[in-house]
Amino acid sequence: MAGVTHDARPPLLLASASPRRRELLAALGASFEVRPADVDESPRPGESPRATAERLAAAKAGVVAEARPDALVLAADTVVIVGDRDLGKPRDEEENRRFLRELAGVRHTVVTAHHLRWGDRRATASIATEVRLRELGEAEIDRWVRSGAGLDKAGGYAIQDLGAALVADLHGCYTNVVGLSLPAVVAAAGRLGVALV
């Protein structure tokens, strides 16, 4: 399978329902199909947030690859880590408020685990980006929470669109925080012999 060219590359499947991941992958100019994978995303006892993300990305890729072994399957899972704790996605508006109060002015880590699978071959990459939200007043937090934009996002915030105004600075890959590190995806596909760009 090594040495595959643009013309001969396998079908590309994105094992995610995330519109942000879909937009990022489309930015590469690659044609792909969206095939979300339904897996239990509960962390296991004693499992680190990074290990959880890596296990879930692999599980999502495995579900889709089982049905389409001919395709290159890309799956990812993103976690927001404060200290050694994964904030997850807020369950409701009140938890979203708590998350933003906890993150305001605090440096934290966003890890996206990427898993690519083509037949019996695999390539993985876990990318960490350090992010700091600016200090946020209660009125700002309330406006963000009422927008509903944080309810389906790890940590309860986004770095793109309206959420860009929440972020003071970051160190590392911007697209990683959105949900896919495009440089990591391209490099991992390359290790499998597939040129995405």
Q: What length does the chain have?
A: 197
pLDDT class for 162, splitting at 50, 70, 90?
Answer: confident
What six digits make up the tokens of 102? 């906890």
The DSSP-derived string for 86-135 is E----SSHHHHHHHHHHHBT-EEEEEEEEEEEETTEEEEEEEEEEEEEPP
Spatial separation of the C-alpha atoms in residues 185 and 57, rounded to whole Å = 13
Instruction: Answer yes or no: is pLDDT of 4 > 80.
Output: no
- Pair type for strands 85-86 and 107-118: unpaired
pLDDT at 9: 85
User: Mean pLDDT score of the chain, rounded to an integer?
Assistant: 93
pLDDT at 5: 42
| Contacts of range 85-94, beta carbons closer than 8 Å, 24 or more positions apart | 85/49, 86/43, 86/49, 86/52, 86/154, 87/154, 87/155, 87/156, 88/154, 89/151, 89/152, 89/153, 89/154, 89/156, 90/150, 90/151, 90/156, 92/151, 93/145, 93/146, 93/151
Instruction: Answer yes or no: is pLDDT of 105 > 60.
Output: yes
pLDDT class for 67, splitting at 50, 70, 90?
Answer: very high
Contact, 12 vs 31, CB < 8 A? yes
Instruction: Give catalytic residues, as residue numbers.
Output: 77
* Residues paired with residue 82 on neighbouring β-strands, in sequence order: 85
pLDDT at 80: 96
Q: Which domains does the chain have, with CATH numbers?
A: 6-191 (3.90.950.10)
